[in-house]
Amino acid sequence: MNAKKKIVSVALAASLAATAIVGGTLAYFTDTDKADNVFTVGNVDIELTEPNWEPEDAVNMYPGEVVSKDPTVTNVGNNPCLLRVKIEWPENVDLDYLTDGVEYKLGDNWTARDGVYYYQSILDPDATTDALFDEIRLDPATTNGTGEEMNIVITAEAVQAEGFTGTLTPESIAAWFETCMGE
């Protein structure tokens, strides 16, 4: 091969190599971008208390005796909620509840429907309801008891208020509980 052909061959090879390198580099241009979207999940968390309940006051109750019992609910969660309270009264004794000394009167914003007590206001975080009632009374017509211990079981339930579009009636709150709890 003559020198001129060698130079052309080398130049052609160099040209092909340069084209391959440039073409290969262009084919590998890339880009990446990332966005972090930080969020938190809220919660519904309640606490049932009876600030004035003294268990020793309810020992050996007599007919007509009144003792303090004031169930209240505090929203200790991060989200507003709707509330209901269920009470299991002892079956073999008659107890009445009172508010401000009035028999079967409920506290502010509470109403009963089918044996369940609904709080007719949205409870914001760190807020506490009015007492469901203030006192209980052993029915004055009660005759001799057995001396056995009996329990009043109070269960408070809450669901998120976000998404609730109804009016604050027991019926619409009950429907929202069914939606949220799948009842």
pTM for the complete prediction?
A: 0.77
Q: Are 106 and 99 in contact (CB under 8 A)?
A: yes
In the predicted model, what is the mean pLDDT of the chain?
A: 87
Higher pLDDT, 19 or 135: 135
| Distance between CA atoms of residues 183 and 179, nearest Å | 7
Q: How far is CA 82 from the centre of its chain?
A: 8
Does CATH number 2.60.40 belong to domain 46-181?
yes
Domain segments of the chain: what residues? 1-30, 46-181
Per-residue model confidence as pLDDT tens digits over 4-14: 667 656 666 66
DSSP assignment, residue 57?
G
Angle, CA 43 vertex, CA 40 and CA 49 arms, to 5°? 145
Number of H helices, E strands in the chain: 2, 10
Per-residue model confidence as pLDDT tens digits over 92-139: 888 899 999 999 999 999 999 999 999 999 999 999 999 999 999 998
| Helix (H) or strand (E) run with residue 46 in it | strand 46-49
| Distance between CA atoms of residues 166 and 33, nearest Å | 44
Cα 156 to Cα 33, 37, 45, 73, 86: the distances in Å are 48, 35, 11, 7, 6
Q: Are 73 and 110 in contact (CB under 8 A)?
A: no
